[in-house]
Amino acid sequence: METDRPTIRLKPRVDARAIRHGAPWVYADDLVLDRRTKALAPGTLARLEDAGRNELATVAVNPASKIAVRVLDSDPAARIDADWLRARLARALDLRALLHDAPFYRLVHAEGDGLPGVVIDRFGDTAVIQPNAAWAERLLEPLAEALAEVTGVAHVLKNAAGRARALEGLDDASGVLIGQPPEAPVPVPMNGATYLADLTAGQKTGLYFDQRPNHAFAARLARGGRVLDVFAHVGGFSLAALAGGAARALAVDGSAPALGLAEEGAALSGVADRFATRRADAFQAMEALAAEGARFDLVVCDPPAFAPSKPALEKGLRAYERVARLAAPLVAEGGFLMLCSCSHAADLSKFRQASIRGIGRAGRAGALIRTGGAGPDHPQHPMLAETGYLKTLAFRL
């Protein structure tokens, strides 16, 4: 038991039952932030108490963040050390070993795996950590060592990109923690296709594993048909569709490096002769394709987060509506439209409403045949909606 651990207290008006039932966050407005607490270094481990001084949990404190407390363990006396890290990582690995035959997956999905603010993606013998909380930044060296010990990976990289770290007051300096960075993009097998992940210069950790089940569903819809993959990144939906038997696919993205990786992935997957790319602004590309009279049996739009926060919600919903309005006319009669959102602030109901409005304003109508989310290697914390950020809607028009 650590006797020198500081104590953090909830305000009297705050009901502690949510914490006792597993809530993983406490906002600054709900804490007694006196001078002593505000002086704590970001990432300091502490005991959380209710207003009656009853101990609730072991937490990490960051006075510089709106999320001032992250619950690490329900035991107020828990030791957050190498053994604790190894136990959490081993539990996460056990689930992935059940889910996947090959070591390519999200290994740690933050609160969903009991490691608040920590994202770890695995690419064979290389793992990429996003330490998006101050406590994880402070314990990054033992976390990386525990990760290598539990999984056997030879290389551990740190990715410091993204707005989450900025909100925690952390820097954006990525680097190598163990081993060496890969000299070339890493081939990743998924759904019968081979993708290329740039682990050092690509988006996020290099590849999005979350869409894996939605790629598979799209591939089934696209059998024998023509596919348009908008906001394609490295060809997530289009390469899976081609591997599943689509006749041809066009990938649209604004990033030349991403489309280059998509083309290399198509070659590795043996589908390059049926794959084409177009580098363009997605909205302009859809308008141009409509003017050309182009029609597709499946259109998929997987844009970046248009509503990453509550202040951006209304603008983001208008953007999702516009995506649907421009994409719907490109779907052939009886074809399919898949719309995706990775925005935390836009819940499923709001995203669905925006999408349906856009389809209607395009003069189209259809049935919603599937609502999807991230794969099971992205477990959701039952008391934290943010861990279920991904939403996909499939319509037959």
Domain end among 56, 73, 90 = 73
Domains of the chain: total: 3
* Burial grade of 111 (CB within 10 A; 0-12, 13-18, 19 or more): buried
Q: Which of 115, 342, 346, 359 is catalytic?
A: 342
% of residues, the chain, pLDDT over 90:
92
Global confidence as pTM:
0.94
- Same domain for 66 and 93, yes or no, is no
Question: Are residue 262 and residue 136 in the same domain, yes or no?
Answer: no
For 142-195, write each residue's pLDDT tens digit.
Answer: 999 999 999 999 999 999 987 889 989 999 999 999 999 999 999 999 999 999
Q: Give yes or no: residues 61 and 120 share one domain.
A: no
Shared domain for 60 and 91, answered yes or no, is: no
210 and 303 belong to one structural domain:
yes
Q: Are residues 268 and 291 in the same domain?
A: yes
Do 86 and 68 share a structural domain?
no
Based on the fold, state whether residues 246 and 350 are members of the same structural domain.
yes
- Clarify whether residues 297 and 368 are in a common domain: yes
Bridge pairing between strands 391-396 and 367-372: antiparallel
Same domain, yes or no: 292 and 223:
yes
Kindly tell me if the per-residue pLDDT of 1 is higher than 60.
no
* Per-residue pLDDT reduced to its tens digit, 185-234: 999 999 999 999 999 887 777 799 999 999 999 999 999 999 999 999 99
Both 209 and 258 in one domain: the answer is: yes
Say if residue 376 is in the same domain as residue 273: yes
The CATH number given to whatever domain includes residue 391 is: 3.40.50.150
Antiparallel, parallel or unpaired: β 118-123 and 104-109: antiparallel
User: Which residue among 125, 152, 178 closes a domain?
Assistant: 178
**Cα 129 to chain centroid, rounded:** 13
For residues 200 and 271, the answer to whether their CB atoms sit within 8 Å is: no
Instruction: Please report, for the domain that includes residue 43, its CATH number.
Output: 2.30.130.10
Expressed as residue numbers, the domain containing 63 is 7-73
Q: Give 101-147 pLDDT, tens digit per residue.
A: 999 999 999 999 999 999 999 999 999 999 999 999 999 999 999 99
Neighbours of 276 (CB within 10 A): 14
Amino acid 307: pLDDT:
86
Q: Which DSSP state fits 381?
A: P
Domain assignment present for residue 278? The answer is yes
10: how many CB neighbours lie within 10 A of its CB? 21
Active site residue 342: yes
Query: What distance in Å separates the CA atoms of residue 295 and residue 289, rounded to the nearest whole number?
Result: 8
pLDDT of residue 3: 52
Higher pLDDT, 204 or 269: 269
Residue 1 lies in a domain: no
pLDDT of residue 344: 86
Q: pLDDT tens digits for 8-44?
A: 999 999 999 999 999 999 999 999 999 999 999 999 9
